[in-house]
Structure 1
Amino acid sequence: MPDNKNRQFLDFEKPVKEIFDEIEKLKQTEEKTKVDLSDSIKKLEDQVIEKRKNITSNLTAWQKVQLSRHPDRPYTLKYIQKMSTNFIELFGDRNVKDDKAIVGGFAQLEGETVMLIGHQKGINTKMRQLRNFGMANPEGYRKALRLMKLAEKFNKPIVTLIDTPGAYPGMEAEERGQGEAIARNIYEMMRLKVPVICVIIGEGASGGALGIGVGDRIFMLENSWYTVISPENCSSILWRSWEMKEKAAEELKLTSDYMHKFGLVDTIVPEPLGGAHWNYDEAAENLKNQIIATLKELKQIPAEDRINQRIEKFSKMGFWDEVAS
């Protein structure tokens, strides 16, 4: 994770940044004067913890959206690195090309081989361009499906990590069958014979998330979001401006607590104090423990029963009122 000098701070994290700046000044003074200032530094570090706690306990929906997009937040490859061993990445959809916005391959979780698949945004400007900011083309979803079918062939569980602002909306993606690729994945994932766990680790937007988002259990990290459209695009449609994005975020009820309340996700995975970007190891450990425990539970259920439960689970999603005519 970034060291304190290279950390990036969101607007609502500025009180924490101010304390970090004070800590840095004290460290420089200590180095120059050779005076022991460790007690003062320790007090400020305790203030950082308290301030992070205060900030994250009162986040608005829009602030959680911002947190899910934090430039220091861990992405799929970081979780794979921290959670698993012996990761072997697999490439290509055997049709068009290898889509860098989706990564996947076999790895071991506590000695058990699983197929890990997820969106990857990139950690700097060059890599974000290479990975198309986590927005997959049709070949990305076809690659994901190929890897899922491979896992099913060898009877290995599947874990997907979702973090995308949406599937790529370009003309070339539509020409190559973006909608069909996502729909095919939803159809096929419903019927996979192996256990499937889906985790929203950051942004979970629209069909881009659903393309690898059908499973026996759906998890959300505490500061992630999951909805049919981003707040900005919702604002631009309803109010013809992005200025109402904060109101749109509130109205969409896109945060993990609402998603759990609505029955769209099964479990909220806690993040380190202040967000996953503060402690990669703790964030990955929390998620790994939840995945391993759930896999043990799912493996006790016969494949046919799992499929039926999965279909029933998604068929029941949503709620409505009927008005008498």
Structure 2
Amino acid sequence: MKNTDIGRLHHVGLVVADLATARTVYSTLGFILPPPAYPTLAKDGNPPRPFGAAHTHAYFAKNFIELVARVTEDNPIPDDAKLIPLQIPPEHLARVTAAITQTIDALTARLARFQGLHRLVFQTSGIDATDGRLSSAGVTHGGVNSAARQVDTPEGPRTRTVRVIEIGNVPEGMLAVAEADPAQQGADHPNGAVELMDCVLSVPAAALGDFEARYAAYVGRPARDDGPARVFDLDRGRLTLVPDDHLAILLPGERSPALPAFVAYAVAVRDIDATRDLLRRNGVPTKVSAAGDPFVPAAAALGAAVIFRRME
């Protein structure tokens, strides 16, 4: 069933305790991560200091994986970090500072719940149409807003503006819809990953129907049955809702750190045998999913299992 707006996953985001450690883990998994971006802000006449949330991305041509951490005095700034000055007019400083503080509080709450996958963003081909559809479906959201982010382009790092609809904080995480960035460049990841293809949400079995109805409103299409699971097939990629009592069958050995929770995501790779080879050489533990895909358990991948699938 073709949708007019939601076409694929835009990105997933992991909230981590220590960005330096997280980069090391993801490098071992075979992902290329650019130096992290640290926003800086000058307050009360003092020199600019890192403030808010630092992040880095594993980029593909059409979507990405984000690692984000709070900026705290306990986490030293890496030597290769990119400091991004926030240029805020004085009359807006109090409002923007309050908004950033609210973001820090949200990340703190998510990290206290567990380290792992806490953000899911869908990609839309027409954000104004999505705005209207969500409103008509009774979905509470923050309307269309602009968000700036740093991306690497052939000409070097650039600040890009992307329009976003924040659906907001729901029990399982932070949800949003965003436009694609046509200037985004995919990296040549050693593990062969080329695209984000799936996100797995574990929910209480008794509430599966409620979650299915809610996500049908978000993506504007129905789910299909896949055994006990429910799958929303997008134009490219998908979202999988799995009852908690079936998770260990879908991904042997996995347990949800909380309920509900995003517990895994999948990437497509060019050569699955080469991916297995790299993980073995790097000493990364792997298991095999019910579908026959190799995956790295959550315990070895910052709290979210990473599934590798053969590119279709």
Normalising by structure 2, report the TM-score. Answer: 0.26
Q: Which has the higher relative contact order, 1 or 2, with Cα contacts under 8 A spaced 6 or more apart? A: 2
Give the strand-richer structure, 1 or 2.
2
Which of the pair has more CA radius of gyration? 1
Give the alignment's TM-score, normalised by structure 1: 0.25
Higher helix fraction (1 or 2): 1
